[in-house]
Structure 1
């Protein structure tokens, strides 16, 4: 093991420190992931020799999900090759994406592929370490002890992030930077991301420039590019992302970023090509394949969209990331290509796999109506849409009551089917609501525009979206102006009304912030605090990393602290 220096100046591998860390290792709960039971047994024996006894095993992805939902693991050791064509790196992305394992969990990949060492340093969500087979118990112990120590150094950052205490997390980053030079760059990476999430773009940019003065690393260049994009320096941001792809073509998030810049500049064809390059380099990443499908569908490149959505279906089988939208996306594209029988097969698979799911039933009705309309059977298609509209109202009521969001993409598909069956008023009502609730989701707004375009109603679509935007601005201004004039009660009333009527990210955040401002000025009120918490939770569902959401969360924490209550009280 390399010589490391602890915060008190003692080397990490001196005898006393090693004994403390090795004793700590014996208390850890470990999950072993390998499709071969003998391999799990061998690793369990190796850990037993190191004094680790709380060891669980999983042979497939479904079992992994069950285990991490039931237990909090300190260490996860995953073989690189998994049971269903996915790999350990992809599993890590899914677990982090779904927030099923905390940042403090050590995630280590075991592989026989020596080439993996070149990839791991560039991964978007890198594991804490990797082990090349074969290895000894001593080598395993050394790697685990080193990883545990690093987690110990960064633990306060993790705790504050997971409690949404972002300002405190930034302060913890500064302490690590000052006191633990060995982990300075880890802390700087967290600090840059946190400042960006807080909307402090200029400070984030300074952090990344500081890193790049000392060493050129892809993540710092991409962090700087993100800061430049956020202040609308799109050309500079694009150039930096292109540099990263030349220097480190395996750094896949650079492709996604570059595609987003192309999209912001209205170059959808270029965005699609960049995403396709990334998908070829990482074919198992379902999130990216979904992006390829979305952009290709907007470009009317239905063959590429079909291939991408098919890969999503193939790779997400048994995955946390699978949804009704996956089935609906592929079914819709197949209808666009004129292959209604293939579309019906996908719907049949969805009905079997998601039996009892009302959204799946709604999707089946919508897709079948589009198939019937394509086949020249409008009367039958209309009957199905009548059923679908009833079911959508039922789902919307349940969503309000239980907080389970209805698929917005599916709602747009329903609107498309309404237009196709002559139910123009229903279509426009649905489109208005979706646009109002998702006014900052360019992919969804693009999907709406495409529906109007393919049904020969481009001008109608543009007018509808413009009216929605105008109404959003009007409602927001009324609420914000009330607060500026000191009429906090009226501001709260107006912004709550806007959030209830159009629960988009902007209104949900503004309503929450207006309530916290009122509580700060007038005193604590349990009922209002609960409403604010609900608005903020819904905003987090839409975009957990939004600077707007982060800002509202910091207000929540500050006001709750002022009155000595828990933030969720």
Structure 2
């Protein structure tokens, strides 16, 4: 091999260690490179790639603060800044299983572990360049996301029986599955597996069987793939999906946990962890997965404020559902720390009115700590700001349901954009709370209905008792509070004054549920009428 391997190649080294940059530049120059640029961070590398179409990128996995090498690769692909001919090589000094497997899953062109020799580097580059040159049309079709064209080109290449036919078979099958041509994919895979039980073919056949609801057949292939390679995270993923489809949720969770331990930095995998943990009502694992989703996306192209909001929402929901005071306090502390940490990250919070989000979170915490009136007062102070804050509407709905304002919560829920509800974590949070609310509403509805019945029958004592019980279930429910006030006023009018002082004070206290609160029109009219009646009683009690 000559020393002109890298002649005329535009090269970018992305590494935050200056000493390594200079050492690596020397190696590249000895291989014929003359055009070598540097970037110490993923963000700077992304900016350089927007202006220059590099032929080869050597990217360290760890880049200090900001994007890591994996996230940079995701960004470059998403923004179409990594050309079909370009070579992307991840470089790292770490060789831990989670680090290596998470990087390998993203399929860079190669993965180098420091230290490496010049000969190893040269042979890797030459091998990749030959492959990219021979399959230039296939890589271009993949870059253009033309699945049908990829299928045609791969079939042509396989027909030549060249050195890359196994690679082309894998790409062909992946795109047939993408196009939902499952029978054709299965035929190719069966033929391939009859010759060699390769991991990629076992995995793709397991995927096909899963899509065809052939769970036992899919499971057998997953097991074979795992026995051949115990670090095959994707095989554990499909195994978990099969177990879940078969109703064996505990086994599904064991499988997805194994996958997440091997390669934790996959959004799809963490979503599956959350779904299965939710099936099992495993709250700590739901919190952990939601935090992992936030951390994975925080510096990547997938960054979205919803991952942060959902993490905090998940922790609050965990606190709501915690049975032990110690567990609840732990979750409450986690919420406070998360809110403090995030407020320092203006890049993350500028998309929304974060002060409004924080106020609603604090109101939910106040409600949890028994300060129901303060929680409702907090909501009243910010309710006017909610109309154009769709990202934060869920938090207002969660709060209203938590304090028992079911009618107002249902009204706000109709305003939620469909695209917001497409997020699986948010959807699950609504599902979890709705299950809780349904039970509470049933209990509340029966008590409130009984109170209305007693009131109509003129049994105001029973009505007061039943409306008070309803407010124990839904402490800040406006409708029931007004019902209680109305029944109390009727009872006060029928009792002697010296027997009524306690009831009078309780009625006065109930007004706090509705005083200075945002009310629907029908409640506002009723409130004013009842307030006038109560003021007359107040004058009598002062005499």
The answer for unaligned runs of 5 or more in structure 1 is 2-17, 397-405, 461-569
Instruction: List per-residue Cα deviations over 1:295-330 (Å, max 9, x = no partner).
Output: 434533222333344445556553444432333333
Q: Distance in 1 between matches of 2:147 and 2:440?
A: 43
Aligned runs of 1:17-32 on 2, under 5 Å? 25-32=6-13
Residue among 282, 287, 306 paired with 1:325: 306
Deviation of 1:122 (Å) = 10
Say whether residues 1:376 and 2:357 are aligned partners: no
Match of residue 406 from structure 2: 424
Q: Distance in 2 between matches of 1:275 and 1:210?
A: 30
Match of residue 515 from structure 1: none
Residue among 16, 22, 25 paired with 1:41: 22
TM-score, structure 2 normalization: 0.67
Say whether residues 1:167 and 2:148 are aligned partners: yes
Say whether residues 1:127 and 2:108 are aligned partners: yes
Deviation of 1:39 (Å) = 0.8
Match of residue 205 from structure 1: 186
Q: Distance in 1 between matches of 2:252 and 2:242?
A: 8
Cα pair 1:120 1:126 within 8 Å, conserved: no
The higher-RCO structure (CA 8 Å, 6+ apart) is: 1
The number of residue pairs the alignment matches comes to 428
The answer for unaligned runs of 5 or more in structure 2 is 320-327, 443-543
Aligned runs of 1:273-352 on 2, under 5 Å? 273-285=254-266, 288-289=269-270, 291-297=272-278, 299-313=280-294, 318-335=299-316, 336-337=318-319, 338=328, 339-352=331-344
Larger radius of gyration: 2
Match of residue 164 from structure 2: 183
SS at match of 1:77: strand
Q: Distance in 2 between matches of 1:121 and 1:272?
A: 20
Q: Distance in 1 between matches of 2:85 and 2:386?
A: 41
Deviation of 1:191 (Å) = 0.9
Match of residue 474 from structure 2: none
Say whether residues 1:110 and 2:99 are aligned partners: no
Deviation of 1:380 (Å) = 3.9
Deviation of 1:418 (Å) = 3.2
**CA RMSD between the two structures:** 3.8
Cα pair 1:327 1:347 within 8 Å, conserved: no
Aligned runs of 1:146-545 on 2, under 5 Å? 146-179=127-160, 181-285=162-266, 288-289=269-270, 291-297=272-278, 299-313=280-294, 318-335=299-316, 336-337=318-319, 338=328, 339-353=331-345, 354-358=348-352, 360=354, 363-382=357-376, 384-385=378-379, 393-396=387-390, 412-425=394-407, 427-428=409-410, 445-457=427-439
Deviation of 1:267 (Å) = 4.2
Q: Which range moved further: 386-395 or 64-73? A: 386-395
SS at match of 1:72: coil
Q: Distance in 1 between matches of 2:361 and 2:113?
A: 48
Deviation of 1:106 (Å) = 1.5
Deviation of 1:258 (Å) = 2.3
Q: Distance in 1 between matches of 2:221 and 2:353?
A: 42
Cα pair 2:71 2:299 within 8 Å, conserved: no
